[in-house]
Each structure stands twice: as structure tokens, then as C-alpha cells.
Amino acid sequence: MAIFVRYNLPILQMLIDREAVEMTVPATQVQEFAAQGYTIARGLFSQEEVDQLREHFFWVNREHRRQSDDITDESDPLALYPRVMQPHRWDETSMQWMIDPRLNEWMASILGREPYAVQTMFYFKPPGARGQALHQDQFYLRVDPGTCVAAWMAVDRCDEENGCLRIVPGTHDTPVLCTVDADTDVSFTDVTVELPPGYDPVPLIMDPGDVLFFNGQLVHGSYPNSSADRFRCALIGHYIVGEAREVAEWYHPVLRMDGSEVDLGVSERGGPCGVWVDRDGEPVAVLEGFDKRYAS
Ligand SMILES: O=C(O)CCC(=O)C(=O)O
């Protein structure tokens, strides 16, 4: 079995004794995830662990800044603090966080089996930075069959002022929606989805070490960081439910939660997408649209 290793950065010494970590996921939270597509594990990582991770990623930014979002305008705060994309492919600290037993335990409980790990990202979101327009992760990952799940960990306290994550309750079982152009004055990404009246983004106030788990259909995003001096750092992992056979190319290699590689196919983007129709006075998303964005 191939073990996926390609590290060249120092290993952060995690403070936890992995063997000693006792975990039980409350049944109420397993039910919450099933009913609403998201749940928050409060304080899953300690302040000390989060402080170490924060320091580590600022070091990565100083030493290894990689321009991941093509932001060339130097007046844009994101030009100095671009997202760190897929660091687990070259950084052992990120790898160890991605496959941390606590994340595995939570996902195994809410999904019913261990996930596969496919992505890590660190967002600095400095003061003045744009947010990320509302979207569904499954639009990008194209997991088939099934969907993906995100583990979104607050590294700083996240609130409305510094651009916390917002989720749209009730969207967790909609199909992948057709996309439209986003307003790039407030979003660093350029695609978003349209929602009917009554589907409003709700801010999630989170403290360092809190981890939000949410499924690939749940519409979410964030507004700009309007604070004068507060970063809104977050460490994010993306996973796919363990019976998946395909995922989009960017997410390969696919890893088991012990870091070993698993062989999955490559899924294509595009194709049918969801549009909202009226059914007995209620908005329902049906797969009657076609996403031209990725049509060849
Ligand atoms: O952290 C944010 O502002 C957005 C993150 C997000 O939408 C994602 O990870 O898919």
C-alpha cells in the first residue's frame, strides 16, 4: 500500500497525546448533521494547538508564499496573504491535521463510515479582504456517488465583523445548483448561486478550535473582513464519503485517514444543474438546468 509522503517543511510538534484522546460524538449532533447538513464541534482543538497552527501558517506565508488565486493587484490584502492550497502535499503539519483522529471520529460518526481526505486550505482573510461568494463545495469536487464534507476550523474568533462563515439552512439536500457570476468587489471567487426568498445566509460565530462539519450541498460563503485589524484565519479540510468512486481531478491523490493512497476515478465538471421552481407555493430545486460554464 503506497504511503503518500512528500514533505519539505518542519513538523509542528502537536501537543496532544493521540492515544489518550477520548472522543464521543453526541447523538444530538449526529442527528443535527443528518437533518440540517451541518454541525459544530465546539473546542475540538485546544487554544494551544490552534496557536501553533496559526504561527506555522504565518511562517509558511513568509517563507513560501505561493500565489494561489492569481491576485496581482498589490493593494488587495489577499495579494500578500493568498490562501495556502493543498499544503498537506508538502507539509507534514497540514497532513497530520487533515487526518487527525478527532476529525476522523466526528466524520465517521456523522457519515457512518470513515471518509477519504482530498484537500487542505488555509485562509488568512486579513483585514479588508474580500469574502467568498455563496457556493456549494460539491460544485467543485463532483464526488460520485455521494458528496463531500468540509471540516472548517476557526483559527481566530470569527464573527460578522471579520467575515465569519455563513451557511444557508435548508440547502443541504438540494442538487448542485446552476451558477451565475459573483460580484468580485466583495468576493475573490467569481461564481455564485441564486437562492429564492427566505433562503438567507446565517452567520456562524466560532471560537478558535471550533470545527464546523458541513456537507457538499450546503450553500455557504462569507462576506468581506470589515475589521480594521483582525485577521480571520481558518484551516479547512475537504473529505469525501468513503463509498465514492470518482472525484474531480484537482482532488487527486485521494487519501485514507491513515495517509495511504486510494485509487479513485476522475469525475467531470459541468452537466445538469439545479434550478428553483415553484411547487405548491414552495421553492424546490430541480435538476433541469445545464451548466454552460464547463461545457466544451
Ligand atoms: O472561509 C471562507 O470564507 C469560505 C470557505 C469556503 O467557502 C470553503 O472552504 O468552501
Residue nearest to ligand 1 atom 9, measured at CA: 236
Distance CA 46, CA 61 (A): 23
Neighbours of 195 (CB within 10 A): 19
Return the CA Rg of the chain.
Answer: 19
pTM: 0.91
Residue nearest to ligand 1 atom 1, measured at CA: 165
All three cell numbers of 268: 467531470
* Pocket probe mutation, ligand 1, options 38, 132, 141, 176, max atoms within 8 Å of Cβ: 132
> How far, in Å, is the centroid of ligand 1 from the Cα of 7?
25
Q: pLDDT-derived band of residue 243, with 50, 70 and 90 as boundaries?
A: confident
pLDDT for 224-241, tens place per residue? 999 999 999 999 999 998
> How far, in Å, is the centroid of ligand 1 from the Cα of 134?
9
> How far, in Å, is the centroid of ligand 1 from the Cα of 186?
14
Percent of the chain with pLDDT over 70: 90
Residue nearest to ligand 1 atom 7, measured at CA: 221
Least confident segment among 112-121, 190-199, 269-278: 269-278
pLDDT at 283: 95
pLDDT for 63-84, tens place per residue? 877 666 677 788 899 999 999 9
Domains and CATH numbers, the chain: 26-264 (2.60.120.620)
Instruction: Calculate the average pLDDT of the chain.
Output: 91
pLDDT for 201-225, tens place per residue? 999 999 999 999 999 999 999 999 9
Distance CA 22, CA 73 (A): 47
pLDDT at 8: 41
Distance CA 180, CA 192 (A): 5
> How far, in Å, is the centroid of ligand 1 from the Cα of 149?
12
CB-defined site of ligand 1, < 6 Å: 123, 131-132, 137, 150, 165, 220-222, 234, 236
pLDDT at 23: 64
User: Helix (H, G, I), strand (E, B), or coil: what is residue 160?
Assistant: coil
pLDDT at 122: 97
Residues 268-272: what's their mean pLDDT? 85
> How far, in Å, is the centroid of ligand 1 from the Cα of 281?
32
Closest atom of ligand 1 to CA, residue 221 = 7
Q: pLDDT-derived band of residue 254, with 50, 70 and 90 as boundaries?
A: very high
Residues 6+ positions from 174 with CB-CB distance below 8 Å: 136, 217, 219, 274, 285
H or E stretch covering 246? strand 246-248
> How far, in Å, is the centroid of ligand 1 from the Cα of 279?
31
pLDDT at 295: 53
Q: pLDDT-derived band of residue 86, with 50, 70 and 90 as boundaries?
A: very high
Closest atom of ligand 1 to CA, residue 236 = 9
